[in-house]
Structure 1
Amino acid sequence: MTALKAHEVARFLTRPDLSEGIFLAYGPDTGLVRETAQTLVRQLSGEKGQGTEVVTFEGAELDADPSRLAVEARTPSLFGDKRIIRVRGATKSLVMTLTEIRDDPQGAVIILEAGNLTPKDALRALVDAARFGRSLPCYADSDETIAALIRDTFSKNGIRADGDVVTTLRETLGNDREITRRELEKLVLYAAQSKVLTVEDVVTLCADNAALVIDQIADAAGTGHAHKLDDAINRAIGNAVDPQRLLATSLIHFNMLRRLRAEVDAGRSARDVLDNARPRPHFSRRNALEQQLRLWTDPALANACERLQTATGESRRKPALAETLFRRTMLALCMAAAER
């Protein structure tokens, strides 16, 4: 009986202590579940995968006839001495069939992929209790594990990453393993010749550019930088971002500032408030947001929100004037910030 902890899975994958039996990769991070199963297939296939036959099922295929799994597990390989059966989307419908196999796998390897299972789930309980069974929990990556994955990927590919590349990627990618892998593969391919990555490369290739320019508009207005505001609005309009979306997101920004300002007025420092804000602001915006919390009082932010609400209402009644209304309103807010 071996139920691994989440932090033990990576070490187990480098050197599995079983060469046959039932392996259950489960958890809320479907990308990590899939990656764990793929790693197990490679590790248990032996050097270069020679002499191994891999049979893959979708869980739905077996739900109607779970006995097919037992037939496959007991069927000798046509091409070698090892047989790996992989089941994606495995459910408890396989429990009875797996009960027949768990104590005597006869050389078969069964790798199951499942969602987030509780300890009482019949499928997980069976594998947890089996002598020839290993359960591998796959939970969302933390900031630390994402950063380690990024550094390891770049190191293996001989890529030198400039200063804030790892931090920028960690903030941009979130914590889904499949998305992270896909984006890292794109960056590795991009840097295949130069072997160098910059923050600008990461922003260009991985970030949501529409979201970035919207943030730039809000921060330029909030800090009183008219030239930056004009440039950011022109980029947004040039990228076909709807002016009504720009109004809506600007209103969200100033409402967020008002909420954070209330915490500052209650006696907390701007830095502490931003450290504990949810959702957490991107690190690249920290200085701009701290400055805005110093510049804007609660009454001024209330007035800004009122102006944006009025402009939003007018833009809905007169869509053709939405861009003009947005530019005029944001410039007025920018000038108000510049005077503080």
Structure 2
Amino acid sequence: MAQIKTHEFSAFVRREGTPYRIVLVYGPDRGLVSERAAQVAAKTGVDLKDDFAVLRLEASDLSGDPGRLADEFGAISLFGGDRLVWVRNAGNERGLIEGITAIADTDPGSSHLIIEAGDLKKGSGLRKIVENSKTALAIPCYADDARGIQALIDEELGTAGLAIQADARQRLSQLLGGDRLASRNELRKLALYCHGTGRITDEDVIEAMGDVAALSVDDAVDAVFSGDAAALEAALERILASKTSVFLVLRGCIVLFEQLDAMRSLVENHNRQPAQAITEKGRGIHFKRKPIVERALRHWRLEAINREMRRLSDAVLETRRRPQLEAAIARQALLRACLLSR
């Protein structure tokens, strides 16, 4: 079975050439799929600017003519040299699967085949053919984990000659992920904004990348746990004005209550001090939010935390049943939690 793990890709792409003439790059992170497919294409040695040497196809182009893939893969470059067939937006299309089945274990000659696909389940037709072929390689692409995001930050900011403060890095990490190309573009936008300064601060991240709606969601959650009804109302108004779903505030409060539940358990059941509990269970909390979390941890008892989580979850369910009243339902539930935080 020819498949590399996500963390093995960097070493693979650094090696000279590749013994695999058929490469499937797949996964839910379409930006990362596209980026890694381009890196594999660069390893083939084919001139990617030469339209006679590179044929780009959509998977749908093969649906009515499965034999076309075999024909193109077996074709000789017009001016000699290696040839690349690059198929994008693949899934488990029958024409594509039949085409790859026909060429999987044949002599590829001087041709290369790269297939970009979405998230494919284990055992699906396309993965099964590629993974069971001796001449093919499957490369999975999943959303960046914490380590991947840090590496991406270091790569882009290092290239731009910029250092970054610890609090700015923490905030930046929370804004990235999900799509590699989108994350990379955001980092380049930040680097351009801070060009010539030498160092990126937390304020720079907020000004260059801060989504007003996302920041308002954070403000609303902070207001709930601070017991500040006026600040909550102001944040909700900004969220509604930006056409952002107020459900995000409900979810944010539930997530923070879940963290409080774990930390409060340490306080009540294991005699930890609130500060110790935050150190042990609150590593993902931004340092500017920690005073709010510590206050909430001292204020909310374990039983009350679980009761309020259930109420907020019920509110989420109710917004799904009556979407036309989402704002009113959420505002009432959030205001209740806010007043109980006083």
What TM-score, normalized to structure 1? Answer: 0.74
Matched, 1:161 2:153: no
The equivalent residue for 2:117 is: 114
Find the aligned partners of 1:160 and 1:78 in 2 and give their Cα distance: 48
Unaligned runs of at least 5 residues, structure 2: 315-321
The equivalent residue for 1:14 is: 14
The equivalent residue for 2:71 is: 71
Find the aligned partners of 1:46 and 1:114 in 2 and give their Cα distance: 21
Preserved contact between residue 25 and residue 33 of structure 2 (Cα < 8 Å): yes
Aligned partner of 1:188 among 188, 191, 195: 191
Relative distance call for 1:251 and 1:129 in structure 2 (3 A) is closer
Aligned-partner SS, 1:267: helix
Find the aligned partners of 2:29 and 2:195 in 1 and give their Cα distance: 29
Q: What code does the residue aligned with 2:98 have?
A: M
Q: How does 1:54-203 map to 2 (within 5 A)?
A: 54-78=54-78, 81-90=81-90, 91=92, 93-101=95-103, 102-203=105-206
Q: Deviations over 1:12-70 (max 9, x none)?
A: 12225526610111223222211111111122236886797221111111122121112
Find the aligned partners of 2:297 and 2:208 in 1 and give their Cα distance: 31
Cα drift, residue 86 of structure 1: 0.9
Find the aligned partners of 1:258 and 1:85 in 2 and give their Cα distance: 49
Find the aligned partners of 1:217 and 1:177 in 2 and give their Cα distance: 29
Cα drift, residue 134 of structure 1: 1.5
Find the aligned partners of 1:300 and 1:95 in 2 and give their Cα distance: 55
Unaligned runs of at least 5 residues, structure 1: 310-315
Find the aligned partners of 2:239 and 2:124 in 1 and give their Cα distance: 49
Aligned-partner SS, 1:88: strand
Q: Deviations over 1:311-337 (max 9, x none)?
A: xxxxx9xx9xx8xx99xx69x839x73
The equivalent residue for 1:287 is: 291
Find the aligned partners of 2:254 and 2:155 in 1 and give their Cα distance: 39
Aligned-partner SS, 1:45: coil
Cα drift, residue 105 of structure 1: 0.6
What TM-score, normalized to structure 2? Answer: 0.73
Aligned-partner SS, 1:164: helix
Relative distance call for 1:245 and 1:13 in structure 2 (3 A) is closer
In the alignment of these two chains, the number of paired residues is 320
Matched, 1:333 2:333: no
Aligned-partner SS, 2:10: helix
Relative distance call for 1:247 and 1:23 in structure 2 (3 A) is closer
The equivalent residue for 1:30 is: 30
Aligned partner of 2:210 among 191, 207, 211: 207
Preserved contact between residue 51 and residue 81 of structure 1 (Cα < 8 Å): no
Find the aligned partners of 2:178 and 2:29 in 1 and give their Cα distance: 9
Relative distance call for 1:220 and 1:93 in structure 2 (3 A) is same
Find the aligned partners of 2:83 and 2:207 in 1 and give their Cα distance: 44
Preserved contact between residue 274 and residue 281 of structure 1 (Cα < 8 Å): no
Q: Deviations over 1:253-289 (max 9, x none)?
A: 3896499359726526556479668xx6556423311
Q: What code does the residue aligned with 2:253 have?
A: H
Find the aligned partners of 1:13 and 1:168 in 2 and give their Cα distance: 30
User: Is 92-101 or 171-180 further displaced after alignment?
Assistant: 92-101
Cα drift, residue 106 of structure 1: 0.8
The equivalent residue for 2:317 is: none
The equivalent residue for 1:313 is: none
User: Is 59-68 or 259-268 further displaced after alignment?
Assistant: 259-268
Find the aligned partners of 1:252 and 1:166 in 2 and give their Cα distance: 21
User: Is 249-258 or 160-169 further displaced after alignment?
Assistant: 249-258
Find the aligned partners of 1:164 and 1:22 in 2 and give their Cα distance: 44
Relative distance call for 1:62 and 1:276 in structure 2 (3 A) is farther
User: Is 16-25 or 4-13 further displaced after alignment?
Assistant: 16-25
Q: What code does the residue aligned with 2:74 have?
A: R
Find the aligned partners of 1:106 and 1:276 in 2 and give their Cα distance: 56
Aligned-partner SS, 2:166: coil
Find the aligned partners of 1:131 and 1:206 in 2 and give their Cα distance: 45
Find the aligned partners of 2:24 and 2:244 in 1 and give their Cα distance: 48
**Taking every aligned residue pair, what percent have the same amino acid on both sides?**
30
